[in-house]
A = this chain, B = another copy of it.
C-alpha cells in the first residue's frame, strides 16, 4: 500500500477547508503569540541566563518544532515571506547553536552540557524527532535545506552515539517520537540508514539489553516487553501511539510480519477496549495513560488531545497495512469528535483534556481545603499551557488532514485507490499506470451524498462504507461498475472519466456501549454520521443528568443555537425539583415532570459559550 500524502490532496471546500482556514488565520498566529510571550522562540538563541524570565524547559524544542511543522504544511498551500523569515530566524539559531558534533537541544546546551543522553526521560530524542519532522516539512514546503541539513547532522550524531559507539546512558528514548520521525527522514531522503536507525530503537525497546530505569513503571513508556511481544496498549497514551505509529511504519516498509501482528493486536486492544465513543484515549490522568480494559469514566476522562492525534496517526499508518475500514473508521471517529473538541470555534483556545461529561459545580466542591480531592479535566479551553504539547500538535494536524483521505495499492496491474475519508478535495495519485486524479464533491458530514470523479485511467476505487452507515447506496454510476463489498469497502471498477454518485445513508443513531463500560450503562449517545452529539446546560438547563429523551422524536437541523453548527433536537422531560419540596429523597415516580425540547450540539462544539454542564451519554425516556 502506498501513502497518498496531503501534499497531493487539495482540500477544496467544506468542513475541513473551513478548519484549515481557521487554523491558518487564527490558530497558527495565536500559538505563535503565546510561544513568543513565554520565551519559547527566544530560547533557541541558547543565551538564557539565571535571573531572566521564562527558563527554558526540556521539551520546548518540540513545542516550537511542531509549530514550524504546522506552519510548513500551511506554506505548502501558499508561500508567505514574513512567516518564512520568522522560521528562517529560528533555523539560523539552531544552526548557530548546534554543537560541533551535530547535537542540538536547548535545555542540555544551557543547563546540562555534561550529561547529554544520560537521562532517559528528559526528552532529548523526543525533541530531536519533532525537529526532524519539522525540518522535513519545511524542506518539502520551501525547498530550503538549511534546517534539514542541521537535522541530518544531528541524526548522524544520534546514530553514532546510540548505535556505533553505544556509549549513552540509555538505549531507547523515554518518550517515543524519533522512531516515526526517522521514517519521515528516510521517506524524504531515501537514505535507508534512517529507517535502520528507527528500527534500531524499535527493536531495542523492552529488551533485556536495554537499560530501563524510568521514574514510572516500565509499561509507562512501553518498555515492559520487546515490542514484537506486546499485544495490548499500555502506559502513557501519547508515548504509546507515537511508538505504535513508528512500529507500523517500520513494519510496512520492512515487511516485518511479526511487527505488523503486534500493531494489529494493539490496535484492536485500543479500539475494542480502551477508546471513548469520541475516539479519545488514555482515560487516566495518572500517567496520562491507558488503564485496564473498559475503564472509561466520562467525568474524569483524561483523553489528551495529543493522544487522539496519536491514535489517528497510528490508524492512518495501519490503513497502509491492511485493507480494513476499521482503521479509517477510527480516524473518522477521532477527527470529528475527540480531536476536534480540542480546538475552540474561534481557533484560539485549546483543550489538553477532552472530557465526555462536565459538572462545573464539581470544581467548587473542595470548600474547606485548597487541595484537590478529585482531579478533573478543566471545563474551559485555555489559550496557553505550561506543558504546551497539544496546541502546536493541532497546528500541524489540521493542515495535514489530507493525509488520511486516500491510500493506493499499486502492486497489481490496475491501481487500486482507497477512499477513506470524505470531503471536497482533488487528489493526484501517482501510480505505475500513470497519474490518477480523484475529485470529491460532497456536503459531508452534513449528509452522506458523495460524488467521486476519476480521471487518468482505469482503476479500482474502494470507497469506505462507514461503520455507522446502513450501507452504501448507489445513486448513479457513470463509467463505473460495482464489484464487491469487502472489509468495509465498496469496490468499483472505473474507467477514465468515471463518476460515482453514492449515498452513505446518514441518519441519527443512538449508540450504546458494551456493558463492561460501566459509566455508560443505561445510557445512550446520540450520533449522526461520524459526529457524536452532546447536551449542554446553556441550551437545556441543568442538571443535564436528569434529562430523559424520547428516542423517536430526534430531529436533525443544519443549524442550531451556535451559528453554522448543526443540532439535533428532541422531545425530552425532566423532573421538577420543586416536587421534592425540602426533601432530598422521595418515593420514585412521585415527582412531577416537565416536557421540553432538548437540543444536542456536536460534541466538538461544546464549551464555546458560557461555562455549563455537558454530557455525551444521556438517558432514554421509557
Contact = CB atoms under 8 A, between A and B. Distances in A.
A300 B519 CA distance: 14
A404 interface: no
A358 to B, nearest CB: 11
A587 interface: yes
Contact of A511 (B300, B577, B587, B620): B587
A272 B521 contact: no
Interface of A: 216-217, 219-220, 234-236, 268, 271-273, 275, 277, 283-287, 289-292, 294-295, 300, 302, 359, 361-362, 364-375, 509-519, 521-525, 543, 545-546, 548, 551, 574-575, 577, 580, 582-591, 619-620, 622
Given A235-B368, A292-B365, A373-B375, 16 more contacts: A216-B369, A219-B367, A219-B368, A236-B368, A277-B585, A289-B366, A291-B365, A291-B367, A295-B362, A509-B588, A511-B587, A514-B585, A516-B577, A518-B546, A522-B548, A551-B588
Contacts of A291: 365-367
Contacts of A294: 361, 584
Query: How many of these chains are in the complex?
Result: 2
B295 A509 contact: no
B580 A514 contact: yes
B286 A374 contact: yes
Contact of A518 (B523, B545, B587): B545
Nearest to A512: B588
Contacts of A514: 577, 580, 583-586
19 contacts: A220-B368, A236-B368, A272-B584, A284-B373, A285-B374, A286-B374, A289-B368, A292-B361, A292-B365, A292-B367, A510-B589, A511-B586, A512-B575, A514-B583, A514-B585, A516-B577, A522-B548, A525-B585, A588-B620
A515 B613 CA distance: 14
Contact of A287 (B361, B366, B587): B366
B583 A369 contact: no
Contacts of A512: 575, 585-591
Given A217-B369, A289-B369, A509-B587, A543 B516 contact: yes
Contacts of A574: 515
Given A518-B359, A584-B517, A287 B235 contact: no
A275 B583 CA distance: 11
A289 B217 contact: no
B509 A522 contact: no
A332 to B, nearest CB: 13
Q: What 9 A-B pairs have minimum CB-CB distances, sorted nearest first?
A: A622-B622, A286-B373, A510-B588, A515-B546, A291-B365, A521-B545, A220-B368, A287-B368, A287-B369
B622 A620 contact: yes
A524 B619 CA distance: 14
Contact of A368 (B234, B275, B516, B521): B234
Contacts of A370: 216-217
Contact of A372 (B286, B368, B513): B286
A513 B369 contact: no
A76 to B, nearest CB: 36
